[in-house]
Structure 1
């Protein structure tokens, strides 16, 4: 794998991630890494005809989760090169199909994009977890879910949270909890008495209109290699269930 860190930045987290990544996977295109000084810059990947780009803050790159953040984005690049349905489906198209003709609050529309990202993350984490990163990921999910539930979560010890946003809304927090449970159950990472279940149910109690078990099952049961049509339907269905409270049969979603 051709990985190039641009500008002055510590190379250890990137080289460590690349070494572990290459034990099982490879990329056809080079990866250009840009390390940004803004500590609030989120980690994200972009894809071009001749390269992938990884953007990450210096704080995130040098944190305890630095290697894992890099591996997660490399996994997204693998999915993109594979032309996996989850990574070539337009989120905007799926949201249009799901919500056309419906009136949806701006906050819920923003949440729908986060839900779409969760579905992509399921497939990226199928790769990262195959590299043996379970313990740290479970700790990360547990910590971030606890912060999201707290009234004043404060600064995160884990950069680039996937579960906490400013002024976390109870409804999307409950969906985020469902995602966390789905991910750990999908890979058999925890025992039934793990604390994350108590946290998830606390999140669900704060959002009675969100059915935790239903969203968990939607994330957990995503097939490994769906067709483009099947993946589009899954994304449309979960969007409708969250944004307008209807399931894939067109009826009202069940209450928690």
Structure 2
């Protein structure tokens, strides 16, 4: 597995993540790590015919989470190379099946894409947590959820949906909390008395319209090796569940 770090940052986190990843997995294509100067840039993986790109901000690349985030993105790359449905299926068909005849607020429609992102993360972290300890991930999810619960909404969702950060939308924060618990419970990564349960309970209370248990159960029970039909059905159920938690009327769906 070839990893090439571009930029003036220590390569150790990315090479360390590679070493962990290679214990059980591999990538056919090389990885180019591209360090960006924007401190608010999200970490994400890009895919090309002859290589993958791990995009990461300089601030994140030098943080304590750099190795874990790199490992997470390698897992996304592996799922992409496997042509896993979670990483190849587009949302257009899912939205059509879930929302035909529904009028949906654009903000809610944007959040539906975050549901798909969470499902992708579940499958990526099935790999991540098979090769690495869970402690840092637990601490990261707890910290992000605590910040989201503490703050009131400050701004509408951006084009990529909301993260579990300050000013998060209460409904999406509740779904994010359900995702976090589902992921951790799926891998037996937290005890029943962990503080993240209190935070998730607070998030759920802030969004009584959201069926928290439904989303936790749905994320947690995603089939380990789904075919396209299984995965499409799971996403349709998630989208309908979220849209049903908001005021909607019959009529043409949002574009």
The question of a shared fold, defined as TM-score above 0.5 by the shorter chain, is answered with yes
Distance in 2 of aligned mates of 1:23 and 1:199: 34
Structure 1: state its 5+ residue gaps. Answer: 155-161, 247-256
Q: Name the residue aligned to 1:253.
A: none
Matches within 5 A, 1:25-104: 25-104=25-104
Structure 2: state its 5+ residue gaps. Answer: 155-161, 247-255
Distance in 2 of aligned mates of 1:245 and 1:149: 19
Q: How many residues align?
A: 239
1:153 CA displacement: 9.8
Bigger drift between 129-138 and 233-242 goes to 129-138
Matches within 5 A, 1:118-133: 118-133=118-133
- Do the aligned residues in 2 keep the contact of 1:32 with 1:51 (CA within 8 Å)? yes
The TM-score with structure 2 as length reference comes to 0.89
Distance in 2 of aligned mates of 1:141 and 1:99: 31
1:245 CA displacement: 4.0
- Once the two structures are superposed, residues 125-150 of structure 1 have per-residue CA deviations (whole angstroms, 9 ceiling, x without a partner) of 11111113211111111111111000
Q: Name the residue aligned to 1:184.
A: 184
1:14 CA displacement: 1.0
- Select the structure with the greater relative contact order (CA < 8 A; seq sep ≥ 6): 2
1:230 CA displacement: 0.6
After superposing on structure 2, the runs of 4+ consecutive aligned residues of structure 1 that deviate more than 4 Å are: none
- Do the aligned residues in 2 keep the contact of 1:141 with 1:163 (CA within 8 Å)? no
Distance in 1 of aligned mates of 2:168 and 2:78: 31
Q: Name the residue aligned to 2:142.
A: 142
Q: Name the residue aligned to 2:205.
A: 205
1:166 CA displacement: 5.5
Q: Name the residue aligned to 2:110.
A: 110
Distance in 2 of aligned mates of 1:62 and 1:231: 36
